[in-house]
């Protein structure tokens, strides 16, 4: 049976289902219990599963991550929430030096099956550290998986797979997409594999790669395109499904990468490098990148000029097609 859900509801359903299925799954974070989270993603879960499994923590991000790592090392499967990506930099020491390295450090004797959830990205006119897209920071760390859903259906399937994964996963939830659309989502188990991209739309003239909130923007941007665009939802930034991207570009001969992170040293540069390494002789144009500028996220009044939009995406695609 399926139900119409937005992304908030789909994530809540994934958490609820996994807590019902597996008593080792626990939630922790700032206001995840009584208040149901800053975006109400965990609403109602403390009533169903109790305060021993849905734990309100102090405002201490490093502590949240450290406790989650300890839980994971002792048989639990914690899902820790950081209220906004801009608050997550305090957890980098724990995630880099412990969560990401534990499997290698112990030669596989210990693993850290935890999920670090956090809203990320601009589009809701919040302040700078509430609107950042710094997924490249986490994707560059060996031992961490970085996952970004683009739709409610994807969110449920990817989160369940992340919770069941034996290693630490950073699960980034695009705030712009939380309540942007509804679609049918299975009430029961629904799994989407990590590390496997999704072809959203097939095409012959250009490959467009994106993830998260960029996917609906890309779809609208190319709706009246003079040409046939293939759209790839990367789903997992790390490990990246390079094969899907490169094979698509070999067929289309052109590539555009779209992300809301700043341009320099962003994920788009890595994707472009892999395209050049794997498909350079098939390219008919340089790889285009449509990104945010290399500035701090502005105050809400300036967000519309900063944010990637349909017009910027369309212009990038047209540049690739004209070359």
Q: Which is it for strands 145-147 and 115-120: parallel, antiparallel or unpaired?
A: unpaired
Rounded to 5 degrees, what are φ and ψ at 309? Answer: -135, 180
Q: Give me the helix-helix angle, 242-252 and 267-279, nearest 10°.
A: 60
- Do 166 and 111 touch, CB atoms closer than 8 A? yes
- C-beta atoms surrounding 137 within 10 Å: 19
Q: Is 202 helix (H, G, I), strand (E, B) or coil?
A: coil
Question: Would you state the structure tokens that stand for residue 32, as one six-digit string?
Answer: 């995840």
Distance of alpha carbon 137 from alpha carbon 82, whole angstroms: 16
Q: Is 146 helix (H, G, I), strand (E, B) or coil?
A: strand
Segment (H or E) for 272 = helix 267-279
Can 130 be counted among the known catalytic residues?
yes
- Do 264 and 273 touch, CB atoms closer than 8 A? no
Distance of alpha carbon 204 from alpha carbon 224, whole angstroms: 15
Give me the count of residues in the chain.
323
- Can you point out the beta strands (E) in 77-201? 77-81, 115-120, 145-147, 169-174, 183-186, 198-201
Whether the CA torsion 185, 145, 214, 223 is positive or negative: it is negative
- C-beta atoms surrounding 117 within 10 Å: 25
Active-site entry in 98, 129, 130, 190: 130
8: which residues sit within 8 A by CB, 6+ positions away?
39, 40, 41, 178, 179
Active-site amino acid positions: 130
């Amino acid at each position: 049976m399926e139900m119409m859900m937005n992304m908030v509801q789909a994530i809540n359903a994934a958490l609820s289902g996994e807590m019902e299925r597996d008593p080792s799954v626990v939630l922790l974070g700032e206001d995840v219990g009584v208040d149901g989270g800053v975006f109400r993603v965990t609403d109602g879960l403390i009533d169903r599963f109790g305060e021993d499994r849905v734990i309100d923590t102090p405002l201490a991000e490093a502590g949240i991550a450290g406790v989650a790592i300890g839980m994971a090392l002792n048989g639990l499967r914690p899902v820790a929430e950081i209220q906004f990506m801009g608050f997550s930099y305090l957890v980098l020491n724990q995630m880099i030096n412990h969560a990401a390295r534990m499997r290698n450090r112990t030669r596989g004797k210990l693993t850290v099956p935890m999920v670090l959830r956090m809203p990320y990205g601009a589009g809701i006119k919040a302040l700078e550290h509430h609107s950042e897209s710094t997924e490249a920071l986490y994707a560059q760390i060996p031992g961490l998986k970085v996952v970004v859903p683009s739709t409610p259906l994807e969110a449920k399937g990817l989160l369940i797979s992340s919770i069941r994964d034996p290693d630490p996963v950073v699960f980034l939830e695009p705030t712009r997409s939380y309540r942007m659309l509804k679609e049918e989502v299975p009430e029961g188990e629904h799994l989407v594999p990590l590390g496997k991209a999704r072809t959203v739309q097939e095409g012959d003239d250009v490959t467009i790669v994106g993830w998260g909130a960029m996917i609906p923007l890309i779809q609208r941007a190319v709706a009246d395109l003079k040409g046939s665009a293939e759209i790839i939802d990367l789903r997992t930034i790390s490990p990246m499904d390079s094969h899907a991207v490169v094979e698509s570009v070999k067929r289309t001969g052109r590539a555009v990468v779209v992300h809301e992170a700043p341009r320099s040293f962003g994920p788009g540069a890595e994707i472009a490098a892999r395209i050049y390494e794997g498909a350079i002789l098939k390219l008919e144009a340089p790889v285009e990148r449509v990104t945010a500028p290399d500035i701090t996220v502005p105050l809400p009044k300036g967000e519309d000029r900063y944010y990637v939009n349909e017009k910027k995406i369309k212009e990038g695609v047209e540049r690739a097609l004209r070359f």
